[in-house]
Amino acid sequence: MKDTKETIVKFENISMQFPGVLANDDVSLEIKKGEIFALVGENGAGKSTLMNILYGLHTPTAGNVYVKGQKIEKFKPMGAIEKGVGMVHQHFMLVPSFTVAQNIVLSREPKKMKFLYDLKKANSQVRELSEDYGLKVDPEAVVGEISVGLQQRVEILKTLYRGADVLILDEPTAVLTPQETDELFKVIRRIVEEKDMTVIIITHKLYEVMAISDRVGVMRQGKLIGVEETKNVNERILASMMVGREVLFDKIEKTGEPGNVLIEADNLFVADNRGLMAVNGVSLKVRAGEILGVAAIEGNGQSELVEALTGMRSVKQGQIYICGQEASGRDPGEIRKMGLAHIPEDRISTGVAMPSSITDNMIIGKERRSEFSVKGIHLKRSSVARYARELFDKFDLRGAGVDTEVGSLSGGNMQKVVVAREFSLDTPVLIVAQPTRGVDVGAMEFIHKQIIEKRNHGCAILLVSADLDEVMRLSDRIITMYEGRITGEFKAQEIDKRDIGYYMTGSRTAGGGEEGA
């Protein structure tokens, strides 16, 4: 690494406020020309927002951005592209029905006869470009029909076609296989060395940071916590910077002995939305009075596992038993009747009806009980209101009152509505996914206490979380998942965070030691 490098991108006191969320909080950062800079942080730490600002997709609420010494006045993608900034988004920005070449040249199409699109020239230009950078693609293939790895290559070529020399990659490996990841890293190194490009890579996989970057910046809750030379840090240091809340909590007392098996999955196969297999033969058991934590990096099948267990996603093969009853092939309503409650990983899309009041959101699932409706039909509004107020107080919801629209609540309060509804169902089985994602520390502590209390009362709890500290703090047993398979199983006291990390990234499996990293 050369030392005297000029600054190519400069963020100055950037703040970004979205309704209800301060996504960036006074961030100042300089990126040097010709380096590979990694930006790490948990989900919702504000990494993507910061980069979207650089790419002109958001206008920051406060602060300035400079590219190559010029201040950005108007935040528009076109302006960023003209300044040589290119971005590969986490969700690919490709038109599925267009060909590879048509996607790459989009908005800068070669023309003939002044206004006609020169499709042939587009193909040949793309072919040349792909050979020049050693990124092989078929210009005439339809994008919707090629693999994710190739789609990403198309995205990179798209930025190169536009003459980008600053390349932002947002979670580029989230959707790639290990082989594709290796390939991508080779490409990144090559374009940095040969073409003198600058690469900013957003990720939450720490070993990747160590493998590819020159410098690393850590973000947490919208703030930039620190910037270090990669050679001066290790994964452990980065992890504690990322999470940084270990010391905050008191111990929560766990009591009681595990009882009968209440959640059981046997050789489960589940497909994702694209029809690709996301869960590959998972078997697990959770007993009464026990919390089983699932530690996995996003996109390794844990979401699909939860959805299959709760009936929201169909099972392709294998069995599920909830409280001893066969649950595979049942819908969520039937499984809930077997004795299951569920906190979904995404409360906004799944956990609440945003336009409805807190009361209505809390009563759903119980509205046909005789306490709340006459013969399951006529709603007893007064008892419903009384009950909602009770839960409102018990779960320490703050704010206007039970008639408030849930959509207007903060993340923490909204999550408390979900927790209140689900936990008050008093079921023997709880499936809890990302219970404290995007939730303030106070609410998090509260929710943790509720979970432990449930456990102490004899609930069987399956906990899935991207927050490793949360998993370690709450679980009795922990399993790690990688690419839809279970890679290890541990008693919570017997393993430390760092070791778990190896299993979560598939570099170790329970069967046989370390694979080559």
Report the site for another protein in 349-368 (rule: CB under 8 A). 349-356, 360, 363-365, 367-368
- DSSP-derived letter for residue 99 is B
517 binds another protein (CB under 8 A): no
179 binds another protein (CB under 8 A): no
- Per-residue exposure over 290-306, b if at least 16 CB sit within 10 Å of its own CB, e if not: bbbbbbbbebbbbbbbb
166 binds another protein (CB under 8 A): no
370 binds another protein (CB under 8 A): no
Q: Which amino acid is at 56?
A: G
94 binds another protein (CB under 8 A): yes
203 binds another protein (CB under 8 A): no
- DSSP-derived letter for residue 351 is I
163 binds another protein (CB under 8 A): no
335 binds another protein (CB under 8 A): yes
Kind of pairing, strands 315-322 and 325-326? antiparallel
**Angle subtended by helix axes 381-394 and 411-423, to nearest 10:** 120
DSSP output for 464-481: EES-HHHHHHH-SEEEEE
If the CB atoms of residues 242 and 391 are measured against another protein, the closer one turns out to be: 391
Q: How many CB atoms lie within 10 A of CB 371?
A: 10
CB of 211 to another protein, least distance (A): 27
Task: Give the x-and-dash track for 302-321 against another protein (CB under 8 A).
Answer: --------x-x---xx----
User: Which of 69, 74, 255, 377 forms a contact with another protein (CB under 8 A)?
Assistant: 377
Radius of gyration of the CA atoms of the chain, in A: 25
**Which of helix, strand or coil describes residue 354?**
coil
If the CB atoms of residues 25 and 290 are measured against another protein, the closer one turns out to be: 25
Task: Give the x-and-dash track for 380-409 against another protein (CB under 8 A).
Answer: -x----------------------------
Rounded distance between C-alpha atoms, residue 303 and residue 437, angstroms:
14
Q: Which amino acid is at 479?
A: I
If the CB atoms of residues 263 and 335 are measured against another protein, the closer one turns out to be: 335
17 binds another protein (CB under 8 A): yes
With CB under 8 A as the contact rule, which of the stretches 3-11, 90-98, 487-495, 503-511 interacts with another protein? 90-98
- Window 220-249: residues binding another protein (CB under 8 A): none
Q: Are 436 and 448 in contact (CB under 8 A)?
A: yes
Tell how far CA 20 is from the center of its chain: 19
With CB under 8 A as the contact rule, which of the stretches 116-124, 187-195, 213-221, 486-494 interacts with another protein? 116-124
If the CB atoms of residues 240 and 383 are measured against another protein, the closer one turns out to be: 383
Choose among 220, 350, 297, 244: nearest CA to 483: 297
If the CB atoms of residues 244 and 281 are measured against another protein, the closer one turns out to be: 281
User: Which of 83, 342, 416, 473 forms a contact with another protein (CB under 8 A)?
Assistant: 342
317 sits in which H/E element: strand 315-322
